[in-house]
């Protein structure tokens, strides 16, 4: 599939974005570990979250889809069944890493694999703590790469673990394993990462407390099924926000977006760059803050993006790099080496594709330096990465002619309706096979 984008149409109106991908994964996983029924509204329809559901079904979880809502019949903390085939996490790092946490507390054998991109992503970061908690794990390349074989245990050891990197997936894997530990699991984070697992477990009634950057969880305490409404994904909204800021004369209202403070770095950075964004009608859905975002076009200036902000804009670097191309002066992104082990090496991919659009960009080991200037229309490619595909489509809206994005079917991973939503707001985007 290719996307063909032409500039010069302003964006106007209101829209919604898909249910948050991170929260959807957690609602399904935690709901499966609960007693009784969990009902989830606005579950992400992206391919990544479907993988989580398929893996849970393969582990014996009954899942029904009725009128846009999802019903999960929980199996309790350790009532899952041994799968009779490989579990396939597809492109989804979150599915693989969080599921390994859940499987640590299941007294059976499973093998989990993924697509070629996921089979290149580092898993030692979750294998190390989960082995300390009692799982037997074997993986390719000296226990670092998928496929991964895991044999869980009824007797998960509680650990005290200092996270070596600010990763929500590692933190969440330990906490899900800790749900089956006899005693207290403690996770210490040096820089906070997204906290949806903590909020979801608390909402389900788990004995989890947070003080400063220390998370404590008492294991072996059953949790009860809940009713959940998933907020819109701010990481999907980010593409629309940037498009509205960048295309002159635009004004867009994005409704029901999750504004968890561990995720709102995109609003902070765009505002630092000079964007006009209003956060309206703040409310809370199952322990997660939600609001409507009003975004208007503005002239931007270059900024510095680095720690401690980085974990809060981790997934938004591709679209911020595009915003930087339209800013006056230079934007310097640092402390972002983690982007090299995402769905693709995003630093390398951004440098390569933005150069095709005549951007002056320097690749550093941990970031990028981008100089603002007029984007040239070009034929670019997504590198099989959904966030690259959508960021480049937004770049096409401010280029000087028709931009073609190759290999764009990957937008299905998180935002299958992206072209339709953009078209409804007035953008000129065509999908061709
Ligand atoms: C996610 C955590 C982040 C993020 C990913 C989703 C999650 O990854 O980049 O898209 O849902 O926990 P890391 O935990 O590897 O930083």
Q: Which stretch of DSSP H or E encloses residue 243?
A: helix 234-246
- Confidence grade of residue 35 (pLDDT, cut at 50, 70, 90): very high
Write phi, then psi, for 225 (nearest 5 degrees): -55, 150
Number of C-alpha atoms within 13 angstroms, CB side, residue 14?
8
Q: What is the dihedral of CA 166, 150, 218, 74, to 10 degrees?
A: 110
- Residue 79: predicted pLDDT: 97
Percent of the chain at pLDDT above 70?
100
- Residue 340: predicted pLDDT: 98
The minimum-distance atom of ligand 1 relative to the CA of 311 is 16
Which residue, chain included where needed, has tokens 């770095």?
265
pLDDT of 337-353, one tens digit each?
999 999 999 999 999 99
For the domain made up of 2-19+231-432, give the CATH fold.
Answer: UDP-n-acetylglucosamine1-carboxyvinyl-transferase; Chain (3.65.10)
pLDDT of 373-416, one tens digit each?
999 999 999 999 999 999 999 999 999 999 999 999 999 999 99
Per-residue pLDDT for 67 more than 90?
A: no
Total residue count of the chain as it appears in this document: 433
Burial per residue of 98-129, b for 16 or more beta-carbon CB atoms within 10 angstroms, e otherwise: bbbbbbbbbeeebbbbbbebbbebebebbbeb
Pick the closest to residue 269 from 296, 250, 241 (CA basis). 241
Per-residue pLDDT for 68 more than 90?
A: no
279 Cα–ligand 1 center, Å: 24
C-beta of 260 in contact with ligand 1 (< 6 A): no
CA pair distance 298, 351, nearest whole angstrom: 25
Structure tokens, 138: 């074997």
Does residue 262 contact residue 192 with C-beta atoms inside 8 Å? yes
Catalytic residues: 315
Per-residue pLDDT for 269 more than 90?
A: yes
239 Cα–ligand 1 center, Å: 18
The minimum-distance atom of ligand 1 relative to the CA of 168 is 14
Q: Among the residues of 89-210, which ranges form H helices?
A: 93-104, 124-132, 140-143, 168-178, 196-203
DSSP letter for each residue of 281-300:
EEEEETTEEEEEEEEE----
CA pair distance 431, 433, nearest whole angstrom: 7
C-beta of 167 in contact with ligand 1 (< 6 A): yes
Beta pairing class for 87-88 and 109-113: parallel
- Confidence grade of residue 182 (pLDDT, cut at 50, 70, 90): very high
Does residue 332 contact residue 308 with C-beta atoms inside 8 Å? no
401 Cα–ligand 1 center, Å: 35
- Residue 266: predicted pLDDT: 98
Q: Domain limits of the chain?
A: 2-19+231-432, 21-229
Which of 28, 30, 51, 94 best tests ligand 1's pocket when mutated (most atoms within 8 Å of CB)? 94
pLDDT of 210-244, one tens digit each?
999 999 999 999 999 999 999 999 999 999 999 99
pLDDT of 82-111, one tens digit each?
999 999 999 999 999 999 999 999 999 999
Q: What is the rounded average pLDDT of the residues 187-198?
A: 97
Which of 25, 48, 93, 117 best tests ligand 1's pocket when mutated (most atoms within 8 Å of CB)? 93
Does residue 240 contact residue 391 with C-beta atoms inside 8 Å? no
- Residue 392: predicted pLDDT: 98
CATH architecture group of domain 21-229: Alpha-beta prism (3.65)
Per-residue pLDDT for 140 more than 90?
A: yes
97 Cα–ligand 1 center, Å: 10
- Residue 8: predicted pLDDT: 78
């Amino acid at each position: 599939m290719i996307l063909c984008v032409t500039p010069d149409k302003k964006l106007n109106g209101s829209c919604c974005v898909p249910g948050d991908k991170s929260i959807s994964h957690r609602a399904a996983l935690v709901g499966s570990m609960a007693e009784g029924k969990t009902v989830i509204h606005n579950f992400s329809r992206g391919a990544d979250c479907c993988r989580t559901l398929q893996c849970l079904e393969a582990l014996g979880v009954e899942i029904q889809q009725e009128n846009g809502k999802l019903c999960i019949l929980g199996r309790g903390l350790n009532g899952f069944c041994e799968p009779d085939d490989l579990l396939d996490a597809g492109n989804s790092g979150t599915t693989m890493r969080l599921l390994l946490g859940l499987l640590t507390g299941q007294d059976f054998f499973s093998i989990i694999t993924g697509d070629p991109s996921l089979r290149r992503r580092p898993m030692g970061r979750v294998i190390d703590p989960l082995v300390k908690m009692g799982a037997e794990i074997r993986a390719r390349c000296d226990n670092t790469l998928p496929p991964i074989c895991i044999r869980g245990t009824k007797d998960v050891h509680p650990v005290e673990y200092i996270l070596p990197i600010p990763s929500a997936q590692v933190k969440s894997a330990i906490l899900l394993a800790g749900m089956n530990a006899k005693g207290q699991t403690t996770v210490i984070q040096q820089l906070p990462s997204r906290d949806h697992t903590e909020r979801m477990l608390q909402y389900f009634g788990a004995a989890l407390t947070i003080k400063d950057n220390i998370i404590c969880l008492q294991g072996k305490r059953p949790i009860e099924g809940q009713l959940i409404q998933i907020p819109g994904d701010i990481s999907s909204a980010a593409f629309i926000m940037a498009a509205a800021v960048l295309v002159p004369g635009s004004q867009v209202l994005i409704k029901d977006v999750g504004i968890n403070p561990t995720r709102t770095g995109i609003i902070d950075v765009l505002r630092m760059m000079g964007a006009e964004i209003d956060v309206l009608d703040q409310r809370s859905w199952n322990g997660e803050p939600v609001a409507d975002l009003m975004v208007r076009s503005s002239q931007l200036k270059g900024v510095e993006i680095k720690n401690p902000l980085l974990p809060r804009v981790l997934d938004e670097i591709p679209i911020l790099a595009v915003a930087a191309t339209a800013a006056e002066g230079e934007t310097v992104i640092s402390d972002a080496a983690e982007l090299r082990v995402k769905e693709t090496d995003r630093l390398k991919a951004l440098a390569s594709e933005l150069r095709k659009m005549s951007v002056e960009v320097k690749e550093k080991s941990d970031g990028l330096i981008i100089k603002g200037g007029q984007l040239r229309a070009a034929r670019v490619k997504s590198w099989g990465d959904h966030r690259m595909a959508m960021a480049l489509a937004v770049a096409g809206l401010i280029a000087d002619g028709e931009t073609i994005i190759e290999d764009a079917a990957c937008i299905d991973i998180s935002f299958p309706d992206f072209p339709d939503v953009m078209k409804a707001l007035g953008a000129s985007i065509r999908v061709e096979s």
